[in-house]
């Protein structure tokens, strides 16, 4: 399979070669046409000037006809074709002295070869139809094969004779072949330069992609590659930026996954070890069954909460958790959550207080209860004995304030990340570190948001805002 660099090189080079070839072909055609038109125009002008001078001697603007250096006689003398007249056919009579060189001269010097032929013999020097054109129109122009060479001619009638001016058709001769050879050489040099430019351009375009491919391979191997440099075109720059962001996010996700595995394995191992130890104690008779049953029940509850949190978070991330949008009274939800956690608060020596009146919102009542339960459980866990946890309600808003250690300012932006705040000092070791992550996910799923801030007198305040009904 060809590489992208090879494909780009061939595509660029092929395009340039096609353009050069088309330009060369068009240039040859246009050049031939322009050269022929120029020669034809000169020959016609000269034929007209000579015919005018022969018809009206003494006119012609300084133009002279010379035969061997002398002015030719008036048209009426016939003889054999002079040896110096180019293109004359053997046996064709011309109005020149034998052995003379007939030419057309003007201020610029010598011009095209000239023949003066009777109309009756014009067809022996020119193509068929030229004599008819001369008799009917008085002029004939075109291209003819004279003496084995292509000639451009212009004939003008003067009485019973005709003046024929000829010039070689250079576009069909060796001169034009040399010009065409030079043009081909120039095109070849241009093609070589195009190949070099195509090689450099394809290398420049594919080099960032090679770096990106190498970095992607490092990423696939589980390593964190160096950021891909931003270079090249705007599209390549955008690709580099997107890849660097993806690499950074994937690195953070892998770190978070590693932390999740470590935390979850620890949270699972601790209650399982406790349950196994008390089960062995019952079997050995070293532990009272009632005491062991209480410990097993507590540790089983921890396992149940951890598994439930993991499942809820996974379903939220996959978007398969059903969330309804219906009118909800947040004050009633706060009272229900306080009643549910009252035994837990009493055991921890913490008072839970609900403040605020009617607080309507548009949300899922069951999910709001889960959010508030998680916040209350977190606040009870981190608050010391004798502290007060306050639940405040307002239209479209819930807030839970505690008297715990607060949150370091540098960690507030990550407060709702999984397992980030599980080690807050002063709290119970029962927290798995997933409650706040579930709070944020559920709040956003209901169209709201979650935030946290430290209180001036100590502690933290978690707030959830929901759409109003």
pLDDT (average), residues 411-431? 58
pLDDT at 119: 82
Residue 9, pLDDT above cutoff 70: yes
129: in domain? yes
Residues 24 and 162 in one domain: yes
Cα atoms in the 13 Å half-sphere on the side-chain side of 418: 22
Residues 453 and 334 in one domain: yes
**What CATH number should be reported for the domain holding residue 296?**
1.10.287.130
Residue after which a domain boundary falls, among 290, 316, 342: 316
Residues 309 and 344 in one domain: no
Residues 327 and 308 in one domain: no
Residues 10 and 133 in one domain: yes
Residue 91, pLDDT above cutoff 50: no
Supply the mean pLDDT for the chain.
75
The band of 73, judged by pLDDT with boundaries at 50, 70 and 90, is very low
pLDDT in tens, 192-245: 887 888 778 777 777 777 787 778 887 777 777 878 887 767 777 788 888 888
Residue after which a domain boundary falls, among 263, 287, 316: 316
Residues 311 and 327 in one domain: no
Report how many domains make up the chain.
Answer: 3
The band of 344, judged by pLDDT with boundaries at 50, 70 and 90, is confident
pLDDT in tens, 102-160: 444 443 334 457 888 888 888 777 887 888 888 888 888 888 877 777 788 889 988 88
Q: Over pLDDT 70: what percentage of the chain?
A: 75
The band of 86, judged by pLDDT with boundaries at 50, 70 and 90, is very low
198: in domain? no
221: in domain? no
Tokens of 136: 């009917």
pLDDT (average), residues 398-423? 78
Helix axes 365-382, 435-445, angle to 10 degrees: 150
Q: How far is CA 265 from the centre of its chain?
A: 46
Residues 113 and 248 in one domain: no
196: in domain? no
The band of 266, judged by pLDDT with boundaries at 50, 70 and 90, is low
Rg for the chain, CA atoms, rounded:
52
Number of C-beta neighbours around residue 47 at 10 A: 25
Helices (H) and strands (E) in the chain, counts: 9, 13
pLDDT at 99: 30
- At residue 261's C-alpha, the angle toward residues 214 and 305, to 5°, is 145
pTM of the model: 0.43
**What CATH number should be reported for the domain holding residue 386?**
3.30.565.10
pLDDT (average), residues 337-344? 86
pLDDT (average), residues 440-460? 88
Q: CA–CA separation, 251 vs 242, rounded Å?
A: 14
Q: Taking Cα atoms as reference points, which of 208, 221, 230, 229 lies closest to residue 251?
A: 221
77: in domain? yes
Range of the domain at 378: 323-465
225: in domain? no
Residue after which a domain boundary falls, among 176, 195, 217: 176
The band of 67, judged by pLDDT with boundaries at 50, 70 and 90, is very low
214: in domain? no
Q: CA–CA separation, 199 vs 381, rounded Å?
A: 68
Residues 70 and 151 in one domain: yes
Bridge partner residues of 85 (DSSP)? none
170: in domain? yes
Q: Is the dihedral of CA 255, 261, 264, 266 positive or negative?
A: negative
Residues 339 and 455 in one domain: yes
Residues 269 and 389 in one domain: no
Residues 295 and 443 in one domain: no
Q: CA–CA separation, 108 vs 374, rounded Å?
A: 108
């Amino acid at each position: 399979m060809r590489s992208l660099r090879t494909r780009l090189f061939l595509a660029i080079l092929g395009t340039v070669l096609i353009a050069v070839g088309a330009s060369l072909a068009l240039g040859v055609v246009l050049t031939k046409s322009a050269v022929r038109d120029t020669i034809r125009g000169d020959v016609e002008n000269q034929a007209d000037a000579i015919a005018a001078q022969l018809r009206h001697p003494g006119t012609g603007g300084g133009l002279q006809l010379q035969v061997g250096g002398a002015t030719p006689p008036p048209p009426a003398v016939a003889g054999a074709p002079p040896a110096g007249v180019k293109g004359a056919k053997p046996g064709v009579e011309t109005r020149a002295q034998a052995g003379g060189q007939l030419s057309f001269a003007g201020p610029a010097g010598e011009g095209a070869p000239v023949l003066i032929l009777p109309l009756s013999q014009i067809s022996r020097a020119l193509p068929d139809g030229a004599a008819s054109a001369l008799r009917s129109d008085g002029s004939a122009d075109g291209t003819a094969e004279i003496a084995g060479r292509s000639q451009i001619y212009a004939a003008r009638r003067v009485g019973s004779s005709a003046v024929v001016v000829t010039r070689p058709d250079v576009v069909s001769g060796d001169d034009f072949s040399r010009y065409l050879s030079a043009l081909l050489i120039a095109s070849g040099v241009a093609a070589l330069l195009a190949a070099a430019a195509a090689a450099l351009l394809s290398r420049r375009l594919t080099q960032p992609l090679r770096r990106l491919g190498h970095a992607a391979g490092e990423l696939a191997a589980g390593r964190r590659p160096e950021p891909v440099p931003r270079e090249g075109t705007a599209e390549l720059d955008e690709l580099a930026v997107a890849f660097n962001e993806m690499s950074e996010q994937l690195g953070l996700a892998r770190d978070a996954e590693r932390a999740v595995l470590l935390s979850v394995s620890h949270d699972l191992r601790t209650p399982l070890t406790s349950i196994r130890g008390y089960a062995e104690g019952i079997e050995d008779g070293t532990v009272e069954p009632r005491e062991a049953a209480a410990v097993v029940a507590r540790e089983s509850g921890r396992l149940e909460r951890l598994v439930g949190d993991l499942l809820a978070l996974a379903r939220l991330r996959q978007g398969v958790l059903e969330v309804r949008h219906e009118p909800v009274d947040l004050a009633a939800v706060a009272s229900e959550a306080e009643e549910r956690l009252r035994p837990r608060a009493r055991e921890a020596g913490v008072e839970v207080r609900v403040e605020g009146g009617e607080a309507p919102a548009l949300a899922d009542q069951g999910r709001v209860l889960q959010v508030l339960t998680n916040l209350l459980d977190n606040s009870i866990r981190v608050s010391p004995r004798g502290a007060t946890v306050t639940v405040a309600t307002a239209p479209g808003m819930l807030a839970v304030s505690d008297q715990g250690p607060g949150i370091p300012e540098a960690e507030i932006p990550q407060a709702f990340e999984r397992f980030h705040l599980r080690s807050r000092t002063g709290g119970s070791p029962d927290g798995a570190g997933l409650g706040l992550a579930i709070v944020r996910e559920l709040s956003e799923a209901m169209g709201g948001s979650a935030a946290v801030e430290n209180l001036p007198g100590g502690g933290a305040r978690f707030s959830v805002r929901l759409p109003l009904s």
